[in-house]
Amino acid sequence: MNTGPTVYHGVNSAVFGCVREMSERTHGTVYAPVGANTGTATTTEPATVVMTFAFDPEAMTLTYVLTSKPWWLLESTIWSGVADTINGCRGRVVAANRQKLAAPGLP
């Protein structure tokens, strides 16, 4: 089974880092190899879902291909979750950048 690729645009390194962190914290997702821009993302909560990923920092794109999921888990649920995580991280990164701009000179 391969579904995709689904490409998300406007994803910089900060957003990708947030996506990795949030998906690990929320769903137990493991990105392998660690620290790589391409590889496999395996989620275990609520069920095992496997996706390949490719982050291109120059093009600011993040591409996923769904390669494995249980029969009962809808693809639309998976893709909605991915999009929600990316959009949430975009908001976090923008908020963090605004805070830095509002308080210049602070670490």
- The domain spans of the chain are 3-102
How far is residue 42's CA from residue 39's CA, in Å, rounded to a whole number? 10
Mean pLDDT of 28-40: 96
- In this prediction, residue 4 carries a pLDDT of 78
Work out the angle between the directed axes of helices 13-27 and 75-102 (0-180°, nearest 10): 130
pLDDT tier for residue 102 given thresholds of 50, 70 and 90: low
CATH of 3-102, one of 3.30.60, 3.30.310, 1.25.40, 2.60.40: 3.30.310
pLDDT at 30 over 70: yes
Give the tokens for residue 50.
Answer: 């496997």
pLDDT in tens, 37-79: 999 999 998 889 999 999 999 999 999 999 999 999 999 999 9
Of 65, 84, 64, 87, nearest to 15 (Cα)?
Answer: 87
Residue 107 is which amino acid? P
Of 28, 52, 27, nearest to 41 (Cα)?
Answer: 52
- In this prediction, residue 94 carries a pLDDT of 79
- Quote the mean pLDDT of the chain: 90
- In this prediction, residue 95 carries a pLDDT of 75
pLDDT at 20 over 70: yes
